[in-house]
Structure 1
Amino acid sequence: MAYYTNLFSPETYEAFSQSDRSVSGFRTTQHKTAKRLKPGDKLICYMTKLSRWIGVLEVESDCYTDDSPVFYGENDPFEVRFRVRPTVWLTKEKCVPIHDDAVWQSLSFTKNTSKQEGGWTGKVRRSLNHLDDEDGEFLEQLLSSQADGGTDYAVDDAEFRKLVSSRIRRADKVVAVTVPEDEDEPSTDDAIRPSYGIQASLAECGERMGFKVWLPRNDRGAVLQKWSPDTDSLIEVLPLNYDDTTLRTIENIDVIWLKGRSIVRAFEVEHTTAVYSGILRMADLLALQPNMDIRLHIVAPESRKQKVFTEIQRPVFSLLERAPLSESCSFISYDAVEELLQMKHLGHLSDSVLEEYSEYAE
Structure 2
Amino acid sequence: MTNSLIENIIHEYKNDQESVYQTWFLNNEDRLKAFRTIKSGINDVIRSIECRSFGNDFKGSPLEIVITAISEQKQVFEGASHAFFWKPKLRIPDIYENETNQLAFGRFLKSCTQASTEKQIIEEIAKLDKVQIKGLGPAVANILYFLHPTLFPPFNTAIVNGFNFLFNRKIKLGSWTQYLEMRESILEFNEKHRSFFSKDFGAIAGLLFEVGSGRIIIPENAEHVMKLDLRSKSDKSRKKRHKEVIEDLEAANEHSEMQYHLARLGTSLGYKVWIAQNDHKREWNNKKLGEFSLPSLVLKDIPKPVLDTVALIDVIWLDHNQEIVSAFEVEKSTSIYSGILRLQDLSLSLQANSNRFYLVAPDKREKEIKAQLLRPSFCQTGSISLSYMLFSDLRCDCDAMCKFGHNSSVLDKIAKTVVHM
TM range (shorter): 0.3 to 0.5
If asked which structure has higher relative contact order (CA below 8 Å, sep 6+), I would say 1
Larger radius of gyration between Structure 1 and Structure 2:
2
TM-score w.r.t. the length of structure 1 is 0.44
TM-score w.r.t. the length of structure 2 is 0.38
Structure number having the greater helix percentage: 2
